[in-house]
Structure 1
Amino acid sequence: MRITSETFTDGIREQLFTIGEIPGVLWTPAEGSGPRPLVLIGHGGGSHKKGWEVVSRAFPYVTTCGFAVAAIDAPGTGDRPQHPEVRRLVALIQEQEAAGEPFWSGPEWPALNETVAAQLIPDWQTTLDALRKLDSVGDSRPVGYYGLSQGGEMGIRLVAAEPRITAAVLGLIGSEWLIDTAARITIPVEFLLQWDDEGNPRDSVMKLFDALGSAEKTLHANPGSHFRVPSFEIDSSIRFFARHLGAPGNLHVR
């Protein structure tokens, strides 16, 4: 791991890093040291490691719970180079949408997710290996994952494959090709559904939730479209992770 920059804002240390070709960011409390619980955040499709949906979750996890939080760019986004196959599939999906067809109706959408996952899941595991060697994180505390939309698609795959992750917030995804993968997940899960999500029919999202093998899983369903997740769901995720990951200073949140 190579730290490429370090800044401090409002009690948060932000470190940009690279691990080989993987660009990422780590946020930790400006004061104090590890070990501490770690939350990995996966961004949505077309976004990047410092997108609003990442930062809006990461900062409260650091300031409220004392967690370390990390995010990396998916292939073809952020500081990654262009990915020819991702670019080709995205162009085809955009053509479908322009013709009035749902983006998820053809073979291009699952192919895109398979292409991204083939690189991103191993990259997440490599990143986790490196982060847990840092004094500010350590390898003795639990790890969580947060991801919605394509971050949820990748999260289901990662959580099923990575035993070091012990709690996850997932959702806004109804990919039925993930049913068997979801069944392998047994950790606590908080799962989000937007009732009027134009890209993820509620029946498909609930079917994926039902497939989760977790003994402890909670479905949070809210009215509104894909990008209208209520801000109070951030507070709920803070309570969820504090309950399942613990926190420095013996913080307990009910």
Structure 2
Amino acid sequence: MADTLHWVGEPVTDCGVAERRFNLVRDTGLVPGVLWLPAGPYPYPKPLVLLGHGGSGHKRAARQLGLGRWFASKWDIASVAIDGPFHGDRQRQDRPAAIGVDAVTDGMVDDWTATLDALIDLNLIDSGRVAYLGLSMGTRFGLPYVAAANRRLCCAVLGKYGLLQSPVVSAPADAAERVARDAPNQSSRGDEDLVRIRHRAPGTRRDQLAPAGVGSGGGLGGTAADDEPGCEEEG
């Protein structure tokens, strides 16, 4: 059966941003997600940012919600977030260690790929202007996805994920080997590597994944309406 995207409920529009929930129906199960778009009769397709949430978060956690609204209202850019494995509306009784790091990671890579394909098929998204942004667990699953997506992405931002895991992380759940294996496979549409791994300092427990050429002015090509904050949630 082909993957099918079903909208859940009606769009919610606030402060110039339209939020749409959806379920992507796949043979492997439902992938719940949220899409943020500029409200109104703006021209389509739009640039898109894929938002990977952190551990214990979900598709509509505060960071994803804030970024989704900011991209849409200030930059005329769409963004989408999906629940990661065992998070949000995909919580299950078993855990990644029981399934295996590679199987869980490959499943999330496939889910991101299918989500992007489904949105492009709806003519909402400019397939030539797609980026990924994920921190913490958003890098754990995001870096393998960026490696697989390769030149489908024009840029990526990854960070806050350590290659040296805490002793409390069991060996079957330790994804550091997978992340290190995928990191050299990153490439941009130019000649430089998309991602570099830089150790912050000897003895630290967290490495930094640094996008090459951040701040160079390239990328999605959105236009900001203004730089004033607006429509953020309190707290």
| TM-score of the pair, normalised by structure 2 | 0.72
Spell out, residue by residue over 1:86-116, the C-alpha distance to the aligned partner (whole angstroms, 9 max, x if none).
3xx4xxxxxxxxxxxxxxxxxx9xx865453
Question: 3-state SS of the aligned residue for 2:49?
Answer: strand
Correspondence 1:71 to 2:71: no
Q: Which runs of 5+ in 1 are unaligned?
A: 90-107, 219-238
* C-alpha distance in structure 2 between counterparts of 1:170 and 1:2, whole Å: 29
Q: CA RMSD in A?
A: 3.2
| Aligned positions of 1:90-109 closer than 5 A | none
Partner of 1:167: 155
Correspondence 1:3 to 2:12: no
Report the number of matched residues: 197
Partner of 1:156: 143
Distance 1:191 1:37, change over 3 A: farther
| TM-score of the pair, normalised by structure 1 | 0.67
Question: 3-state SS of the aligned residue for 1:245?
Answer: coil
Question: 3-state SS of the aligned residue for 1:28?
Answer: strand
Partner of 1:55: 65
Note the C-alpha offset of 1:37: 0.7
Question: 3-state SS of the aligned residue for 2:90?
Answer: coil
Note the C-alpha offset of 1:26: 0.4
Note the C-alpha offset of 1:3: 0.7
Note the C-alpha offset of 1:136: 2.8
Note the C-alpha offset of 1:245: 1.3
Aligned match for 2:133, one of 146, 152, 157: 146
Aligned match for 2:18, one of 13, 16, 31: 13
* One-letter amino acid of the counterpart of residue 145, structure 2: L
Whether contact under 8 Å (1:170, 1:191) holds in the other structure is no
* C-alpha distance in structure 2 between counterparts of 1:74 and 1:125, whole Å: 13
Spell out, residue by residue over 1:63-105, the C-alpha distance to the aligned partner (whole angstroms, 9 max, x if none).
111111000001221112415133xx4xxxxxxxxxxxxxxxx
Question: 3-state SS of the aligned residue for 1:132?
Answer: helix
Note the C-alpha offset of 1:191: 8.1
Distance 1:56 1:250, change over 3 A: closer
Q: 1 or 2, which has the higher helix percentage? A: 1
Note the C-alpha offset of 1:202: 3.9
Q: Which runs of 5+ in 2 are unaligned?
A: 164-175, 228-235
Q: 1 or 2, which has the higher strand percentage? A: 2
| Aligned positions of 1:1-254 closer than 5 A | 1-5=5-9, 6-20=11-25, 21-31=30-40, 32-86=42-96, 89=97, 113-139=101-127, 141-163=128-150, 164-175=152-163, 176-177=176-177, 178-187=179-188, 202=204, 204-206=206-208, 209=210, 216-217=212-213, 243-247=218-222
Aligned sequence identity (%): 30
Note the C-alpha offset of 1:35: 1.1
Question: 3-state SS of the aligned residue for 1:162?
Answer: helix
* C-alpha distance in structure 1 between counterparts of 2:55 and 2:34, whole Å: 18
Distance 1:202 1:60, change over 3 A: farther
